[in-house]
Structure 1
Amino acid sequence: MSTPLILLPGDEVPSNHLPSTKNNPLKLGSGVRLLSQPSAKPAASNHVLTATQAGILTTDAKRNTVSLQSFSNRRYIPTTNDLVIAQVHHSSIDYFHCIVTPHTAQALLGQLSFEGATKKTRPMLKGGDLVYARVSSVGVGAGAEVEITCVNPATGKAEPGGLGPLTGGMVFDISTGFSARLIRASSSSADHGDAIDGLVVLAELGKKLESLGGFEIAVGRNGKVWIDCSAAGENAVKSTIAVGRCLQTTDDKNLNTMDQKKLVTRVLREMKLIS
């Protein structure tokens, strides 16, 4: 097994670590940015990729993607194609102005950037409402505005991931590194019990809460996770809090697979959701 490549903010991504582009364009994931100018090296003809955060370089030859697996931290830097949970601050004629993180400028969400939205059918969002969105543009240079959208530009649909307003449920804070792991786990075969990046907490919660109607989850790369257990009826609030506690504890203590299973059982028993 090759030694993991750790990059710091500003480091160039070595070209020999990139997947072969061949007929497909290289796709950039979180933590990697394309510079506007090529490298000064005479032999370089392509643009240079640099790291925007510290992390381990990961590549996917099948999907032809490159990204950085960030370490557990609370800072988030918006990156194109990231899924985020944003909160509406206020609206203007054409946009909803949304908070992605408390430490970055507000992101712009077009009032028609929803599946099937028209001037008559667009969602009437107000301050404090939540949306699950994808970062569509981060601009170039200081002061550039971040834009987000709740539709897939290729299809006009709220896919994948059920983009759009989030109603009900609760939002919990997690680290950005853990949010990346959750996204990989929730979009993989984790529901069949497989450990993805050593993460089984979602699968365990899904199995043990199935009799109560299960739960819905939306994970934002900005360190936010939305959980809704409304199908649990009178146990909805307790179930939601239990899921949030399990995720936050797994994140804070970096639990292994066995400890995650024990945690889920203990928390659900404490909340009197299972016997």
Structure 2
Amino acid sequence: MMEVRINDVVMPGDIIKEVFPSKGKIKVILGPGLRREGDYVFICKAGVLKKRDPFIYYVNSYEKRYVPNRGENVVGVVTQKAGDIFKVDIGASEQASLSYLGFEGASKRNRPDVQVGDVIFGKLLVASKDMEPELVCVDSLGKKGKLGVLNPDGMLFSCSLSLVRKILNPECPLFKLLAKEHKYELAVGMNGKIWIKAGPSVEETIAVANAILAAEFTPPDEMPALCSQIAKILFKIR
């Protein structure tokens, strides 16, 4: 076993040297790829060790298989209805369940209009290796906010989990740059599924989706050129 530091390439079994979950009153959050055992934090998947302020640690790795984590927002597709429960494909090893009561204002008399094939933006209420994932479409106050059934006119596509973490980083300029050229609606799931609807045409939606996918290997300082190129291509099409 090796002791590792931030930005090191890590392997399962390595130990983080500079962080321990019990640092007095400091709350340390362990993200994907990390596991606590006693007074030690072990790496449980290969990748690069990262830290986000104030004390959030995780392993950044290129992967497409999603492991559900409680509290994360995900995008999924309704695959079947079984009684009062909907089954939703979120790209994990098993499908998530979604009760009709998991929507704002839902009751036996006021059931949500959810059909097989609908795209759902929800929050994981239950996520454990010993239990089936469970979704809700409300926040802690019982309000739906941006959660719920997404517009069927949008486009759903998949990407790597590392790209999701990159574009959701507050320091990533991609969405602000795209907003200067396009009007769009967006739902990004931590499970590597993104729903988007841009502009009045399908071509614009596809162009913005391609810009998001291209951002995975584009440095932040080159993103303005990427967005400008997408805008020029759309201008020629119009």
Q: Would you say same fold, with TM above 0.5?
A: yes
Contact 2:69–2:128 (Cα < 8 Å) also in 1: no
3-state SS in 2 of match to 1:244: helix
C-alpha distance in 2, partners of 1:246/1:88? 27
Describe the SS at the equivalent of 1:272: helix
Cross-structure match for 1:121: 110
Comparing 216-225 with 73-82, greater Cα deviation is found at 73-82
Summarize the Cα distance change of 1:61–1:204 in structure 2 as closer, same or farther, 3 Å threshold: closer
In the alignment, what sits opposite 1:57?
A: 49
Shift of 1:79: 1.7
User: Are positions 1:156 and 2:142 aligned together?
Assistant: yes
User: Whole-Å Cα distance in 2 between the matches of residues 60 and 257 of structure 1?
Assistant: 17
Aligned ranges 1:92-131 → 2 under 5 Å: 92-101=82-91, 104-131=93-120
CA shift, 1:13, in A, is 5.6
Cα deviations by residue, 1:57-109 (Å, 9 ceiling, x for unpaired): 344554x54433x22332222222222111100112231111011x6211111
Alignment of 1:174 with 2:163, yes or no, is no
Partner residue of 2:133?
Answer: 146
Q: What's the secondary structure of 2:104's corresponding residue?
A: coil
* Structure 1 pair 16–250 and aligned structure 2 pair: CA distance change class (3 A): closer
Q: Is the 8 A contact 1:19 1:65 kept in 2?
A: no
Deviation of residue 243 (structure 1)? 0.5
**CA deviation after TM superposition for structure 1 residue 238, in Å:** 2.1
Partner of 1:193: none
Amino acid at match of 2:31: G
* Preserved CA contact (<8 Å) 2:21 2:27: no
Output the amino acid matched with 1:239.
E
Q: Paired residues, what number? A: 233
Distance 1:49 1:3 in 2: 13
The alpha carbon displacement at 1:27 in A equals 4.1
State the alpha-carbon separation in 2 of the partners of residues 79 and 181 from structure 1: 18
- Kindly, what percent of the aligned residue pairs are identical? 26
Q: Greater strand percent: which structure?
A: 2
Change (3 A) 1:67 1:163: farther
Residues 20 and 41 of structure 2 are in contact (CA less than 8 Å); yes or no, is this contact kept in structure 1?
A: no
1:240 alignment counterpart: 205
Instruction: Give the TM-score normalised by structure 1.
Output: 0.73
Name the SS for the 2:68 alignment partner.
Answer: coil
Equivalent runs, 1:1-275 vs 2, <5 Å: 3-9=6-12, 11=13, 14=16, 16-18=18-20, 22-23=24-25, 26-32=28-34, 38-39=37-38, 44=39, 50-60=42-52, 62=54, 64-68=55-59, 70-101=60-91, 104-141=93-130, 144-152=131-139, 154-159=140-145, 162-167=146-151, 168-184=153-169, 188=170, 196=171, 199-209=172-182, 214-229=183-198, 232=199, 235-251=200-216, 254-272=217-235
C-alpha separation in 2, matches of 1:129 and 1:60 = 34
Letter aligned with residue 8 of structure 1: M
Q: How large is the RMSD of aligned CA atoms in angstroms?
A: 2.8
Is there any run of 5+ residues in structure 2 with no aligned partner, and where?
A: none
The 1:207/1:94 distance shift into structure 2, 3 A limit, reads same
The residue type paired with residue 114 of structure 2 is L
TM-superposed CA distance for 1:135, in Å, is: 1.8
Residue 6 of structure 2 contacts residue 51 of structure 2 at CA under 8 Å; is this kept in 1?
no
* CA displacement, residues 158-216 of structure 1 (integer Å, 9 cap, x when unaligned): 25xx11111131112211100111222xxx3xxxxxxx2xx32222111122xxxx211
Residue segments in structure 1 that go unaligned for 5+ positions in a row: 189-195
